[in-house]
Amino acid sequence: MEALAAGPAPAPRNQLTVASVFAAVAMIMLTGGMLGVWAVKRSAVVDAGESWLPSGVTVPEVPTNVILIAFPALCSFAQWAVWASKRNDKANTVFALGTSAFVALLIVNAQAFVWNQMGVVVADGEYGSMFYALTGTFMALMVVGLLLSLVSMFRYLAGRTRDREILIAHAIFWYAMTAVYTAIWFLVYVTK
Amino acid sequence: MTTIDSSPDVAGDSAIGRLLAADAAWLTSSDHKKIGRMFIGAGLLGLLATIIVNLVIAIERVDGGSAALDTDSWTQLLGSQRVGLVFGTALPLVAGLAIAVVPLQLGARALAFPRLAAAGMYMWLGGFVLSIISLADNGGFGGGNSDMVDLFLAAQGLMALGFTAVGICLATSVLTTRAPGMTMRRVPFFAFSAFVFGIGLVLVMPVLIGALIYLFVDHRSGAREAFGGNQGIATWAGWIFTQPTTFLFAIPVLGLFAELLPVTFRKRTPMRGIVFAGLGLVGVSALAAVTQQLRFDVPWNGSQLYIGDGDDVSTKLGDVAPWAFFHLLPVLGAGILFLMMLFLAKPTKDEDGNSVLPNATGGFLFAFFGFGMVFVGMLGSAIEPIVDLGLIDTVFGEASLVYVAYGVALGVLGGIVYWAPKLWGHAIEMKKVAPLALLGVAGTVLAAFPQYIAGFLDQPSGLAYDDGDLQIWNILTLVGQAMMALAVLAFVGLLVSTVLGSDSDAVDDPWDGQTIEWATTSPAPTDNFVDVPAVTSAEPLLDLKTANDSTDNAKESAS
């Protein structure tokens, strides 16, 4: 065996941060691809002189806009948790993570309210199945984010206060989700 | 590193207990070499299953006028072929090889997130088994069994999710676990190609998952308007089984070819940046994958190009640009590697004036043939969309997929032979490997090239045809598939007998390697390296050997 000289101890590698960036890219590609198909289908219907939104269906603007406003707040709380953990401020970190989870829960509730208000039937034509596929995917990602917030909080409460990378990953997730929802909001709820 | 401790009560008392404990240790291992080898093993089984499907198709096509099988099952048979070539063969084989080898090449003790990679492997395995079940029970593309169509869509999604996880692990590993001193420009070519492949998976697989979610909801809900129910699967998710998307899965094989060139010709690779650029250009196929379903009316056929007159310049450019972008850039990337081979193969002499003879190994032979087959597949897929040639909806497209998938398989077999000392502690002999490599490449050429000709002769892409003159090409294809089956079976037998046959017999550096995986023992220990080595160039082991030679020469001169 050839003997190569041993190297120095490796520097911190931020693996979780890098992986969470890739996961965020994957989330954006997932919803980006779905929104692209949505745009193509909508364009075909509109070009044929028909209405894309089924008759009798209206988009409830208040909850959809509230969700949009809630996301920057969610990002702020997630970043607050990162900031506080760097200062070993356990109380602020846990509070910020708990607040993130709470706001995520509110968004889940608001999306369920949107579904209820719109009253779209899944089996009722193109719009129905595509609408629930798209917003259902968004809801699934929200549930993942909610669980991530809760797991991060309980890990911190359990004493793993030096493991800060998961908080950075948590913040990256919510930044990506903000981008995802902004695109959905514009294409599905504003452009209609 | 395995995280399972076998209980003495279970493991120590009986042979069955020990066997179960050993199996559990393998199945739950977080050692990247074990995960990679399990992936490769399952991929080889997938390859064999796919070849059997191809054999059945070839038998069915020998007489285009009559059918041995129920014609209702033709769609499932052709669907099985596509799923098998992409998800059963190309993807698991390259992913397995990359997981097993990349950390060794990087000088890392482990893969980043090995449990995520293992989860990805199991998601793929589960999805592949469910795909087979659904296809066997009238599911899949255009399937008549509604529940099985749903199961097929869910299974495809599960596999895509698994490969997304694998992509994240590979890309993160290359970015974060490199040995001290190994800058990105010093990363071995195979590891770099795995990086491009990993990023490609992260970009492409989520788009496929999105399309599958639409299809699933549309089909399951009973709406079946937006995507045409079971008939829409090929249109909206079929792009993953066609070129140029499949080039993405061949990138690690091209990286392996580039990796073996300097070892074979005993030189350093000049202008490494150009090789990196070549591998990156093939990665453009990822963009084709994520955009062609939106850009073109008939995504299954990819970017169509009409050369004949009748259109104005702007329309013509609108056709040519995406075609050139998606089809020619990957060809250019692979062409760069071919030119690099010619450059390195130029005869040279050493300091004493003796000719430097190539060190042709069995691994290189397989990798060279694999690269060649992928390249021919790329060229075929580049001309297929030219509408004037009338190749669309003929067997031509299937042939280019067979070229790419079998090329990938041959390349991975080369990787297995090359890195067998590190993975199993055994070197597979050249005299045993060479005939199999020749049989494999002959089988691939015979299985695919006659279909190229039949495509020009307008044989439709289904199983039936009217023109009796086409029969000879289909008989040749059948012979080719049989030869490929024989080659793969023989290779698996050789691998198993070599691995199980005797104690570890491989030396640490049997091929005179240049990269750092050859600096550790054969087989590589669980943590890969006793001490993580420092890297000062792209060929650290070659540097060390050159320095040792210089020292020896100086001592001889002094004495």
- What DSSP string describes B98-144? HHHHHHHHHT-SS-SSHHHHHHHHHHHHHHHHHHHHHHHTT-STT-S
Count CB pairs under 8 A between chains A and B: 146
List the one residue out of B367, B454, B376 whose CA is nearest residue B414: B367
A33–B211: do the CB atoms touch at under 8 Å?
A: yes
| Res A85 pLDDT > 50 | yes
- Helix-helix angle B430-456:B362-383, to 10 degrees: 10
Give the angle B418-B419-B424 at the CA atoms, nearest 5°: 125
- The whole-chain average pLDDT of chain B stands at 88
- Higher-confidence residue: B208 or B17? B208
A36–B294: do the CB atoms touch at under 8 Å?
A: yes
Q: What is the radius of gyration, based on Cα positions, of chain A?
A: 21
Q: Choose the weakest-confidence range: A121-135, B105-119, B382-396, B466-480.
A: B382-396
Q: Choose the weakest-confidence range: B295-299, B316-320, B477-481.
A: B295-299
Cα–Cα dist B339/B333, whole Å: 10
Confidence of residue B5 (pLDDT cuts 50, 70, 90): very low
CB B190 within 8 A of CB B538: no
Chain B contact set for A129 (CB, 8 A): 214, 217-218, 221, 223, 225-226
CB of A6 within 8 Å of a chain B CB? The answer is yes
Average confidence (pLDDT) over B229-244: 86
Q: What is the ipTM of this complex?
A: 0.95
**3-state SS string for A103-128:** HHHHHHHHHHHHHHHHCCCCCCHHHH
Cα–Cα dist A3/B274, whole Å: 30
- Higher-confidence residue: B311 or A90? A90
CA distances from B188 to B52, B86, B148, B180, B258 (A): 36, 26, 44, 14, 9
| Res B348 pLDDT > 80 | yes
Confidence of residue A5 (pLDDT cuts 50, 70, 90): confident
Cα–Cα dist B373/B383, whole Å: 16
Average confidence (pLDDT) over A171-190: 97
Cα–Cα dist A136/A130, whole Å: 10
Note the pLDDT tens digit of each residue in B450-500: 999 999 999 998 888 888 889 999 999 999 999 999 999 999 999 999 988
Average confidence (pLDDT) over B7-15: 59
Note the pLDDT tens digit of each residue in B516-553: 999 999 999 989 988 888 899 999 988 888 888 777 77
What's the gap in Å between the CA of B174 and the closest CA on chain A?
10
pTM of the model: 0.93
The secondary structure of residue B326, as a DSSP letter, is I
Note the pLDDT tens digit of each residue in B126-166: 999 999 999 999 888 888 899 999 999 999 999 999 999 99
Confidence (pLDDT) at B324: 82
- Higher-confidence residue: B313 or B175? B175
Confidence (pLDDT) at A80: 97
Confidence (pLDDT) at B2: 40
Identity of the residue in A18, A126, A128 whose CB atom sits nearest the CB atom of B175: A18
| Res B122 pLDDT > 50 | yes
DSSP sequence for chain A: ---PPBPPPPPP--HHHHHHHHHHHHHHHHHHHHHHHHHHHHHHHHHTT--SSPTT----HHHHHHHHHHHHHHHHHHHHHHHHHHTT-HHHHHHHHHHHHHHHHHHHHHHHHHHHHH---TTSHHHHHHHHHHHHHHHHHHHHHHHHHHHHHHHHHTT-TT--HHHHHHHHHHHHHHHHHHHHIIIIII--
Whether residue B262 is preceded by a cis peptide bond, meaning omega within 30 degrees of 0, is no
What six digits make up the tokens of A96? 């910020």
CB of A141 within 8 Å of a chain B CB? The answer is no
Cα–Cα dist B228/B447, whole Å: 33
Confidence (pLDDT) at B300: 39
Q: What is the radius of gyration, based on Cα positions, of chain B?
A: 24
Alpha carbon B25 to its chain's center = 27
Identity of the residue in B176, B206, B534 whose CB atom sits nearest the CB atom of A4: B534
CB of A187 within 8 Å of a chain B CB? The answer is no
Domains (range + CATH), chain B? 1-30 (no CATH), 31-346+361-558 (1.20.210.10)
CA distances from B128 to A120, B169, B362, B409 (A): 34, 21, 31, 17
| Res B433 pLDDT > 90 | yes
Query: Phi and psi for A76 in degrees, rounded to 5?
Result: -60, -45
Q: To the nearest whole percent, how much of chain B has pLDDT over 90?
A: 61
Beta carbons within 8 Å of B14's beta carbon, 6+ residues apart: none
Confidence (pLDDT) at B477: 96
Burial class (CB in 10 A: 0-12, 13-18, 19+), B16: exposed
| Res A11 pLDDT > 70 | no
| Res B351 pLDDT > 80 | no
Domains of chain A, residue spans: 65-190
B113–A19: do the CB atoms touch at under 8 Å?
A: yes
B207–A33: do the CB atoms touch at under 8 Å?
A: yes
Beta carbons within 8 Å of B442's beta carbon, 6+ residues apart: B480, B483
Binding-face residues of A in 82-101 toward B, CB within 8 A: none
Average confidence (pLDDT) over A146-152: 96
Chain B contact set for A125 (CB, 8 A): 223, 225-226
- Higher-confidence residue: B238 or A19? A19
Confidence of residue A99 (pLDDT cuts 50, 70, 90): very high
Average confidence (pLDDT) over B88-99: 97
Facing residues of A6 across strands?
Answer: B533
| Res B6 pLDDT > 70 | no
B534–A13: do the CB atoms touch at under 8 Å?
A: no
Cα–Cα dist B27/B38, whole Å: 8
CB of A54 within 8 Å of a chain B CB? The answer is no
Cα–Cα dist B54/B56, whole Å: 5
Average confidence (pLDDT) over B14-35: 87
Chain B contact set for A31 (CB, 8 A): 210
CB A115 within 8 A of CB A135: yes
Confidence (pLDDT) at B409: 97
B181–A26: do the CB atoms touch at under 8 Å?
A: no
Confidence (pLDDT) at A169: 97
List the one residue out of B181, B530, B184, B417 whose CA is nearest residue A2: B530
**Half-sphere CA count of B44, side-chain side, radius 13 A:** 21
In single-letter form, the type of residue at position A42 comes to R
Cα–Cα dist A186/A173, whole Å: 20
DSSP sequence for B171-228: HHHHHH-PPTT--GGGS-HHHHHHHHHHHHHHHHHHHHHHHHHHHHHHHHSS---SS-
CB B262 within 8 A of CB B539: yes
Interior/surface letters B149-159, b for 16+ CB within 10 angstroms, e for the rest: bbbbbbbbbbb
- Higher-confidence residue: A191 or B9? A191
Q: To the nearest whole percent, how much of chain A has pLDDT over 90?
A: 84
A128–B168: do the CB atoms touch at under 8 Å?
A: no
Note the pLDDT tens digit of each residue in B199-221: 999 999 999 999 999 999 999 98
| Res B295 pLDDT > 50 | no
Average confidence (pLDDT) over B390-399: 90
Cα–Cα dist B445/B90, whole Å: 17
Confidence (pLDDT) at A9: 67
CB B224 within 8 A of CB B143: no
Q: To the nearest whole percent, how much of chain B has pLDDT over 70?
A: 93
Confidence (pLDDT) at A109: 97
**Half-sphere CA count of B371, side-chain side, radius 13 A:** 28
CB B532 within 8 A of CB A6: yes
What percent helix, strand, coil does chain B show, rounded to 5?
70, 0, 25
B223–A6: do the CB atoms touch at under 8 Å?
A: no
Confidence (pLDDT) at B7: 47
Confidence (pLDDT) at B149: 94
Give the angle A95-A97-A101 at the CA atoms, nearest 5°: 115
Which residue out of B106, B205, B217 would a mutagenesis test of the A interface target, given it has the greatest number of A Cβ atoms within 10 Å? Answer: B217
Query: Phi and psi for B95 in degrees, rounded to 5?
Result: -65, -40
User: Does domain A65-190 fall into CATH 1.20.120.80?
Assistant: yes
List the one residue out of B336, B362, B525 whose CA is nearest residue B428: B362
Burial class (CB in 10 A: 0-12, 13-18, 19+), B552: exposed
What six digits make up the tokens of A137? 């995917």
Strand, helix or coil at B252? helix
- Higher-confidence residue: B548 or B91? B91
| Res B302 pLDDT > 60 | no
Which residue out of A13, A20, A22, A188 would a mutagenesis test of the B interface target, given it has the greatest number of B Cβ atoms within 10 Å? Answer: A22
| Res B297 pLDDT > 60 | no
CB of A72 within 8 Å of a chain B CB? The answer is no
Cα–Cα dist B110/B424, whole Å: 17
Confidence (pLDDT) at B306: 63
List the one residue out of B265, B415, B278, B450 whose CA is nearest residue B347: B265
Query: Please, what is the end-to-end C-alpha distance for chain A in angstroms?
Result: 67
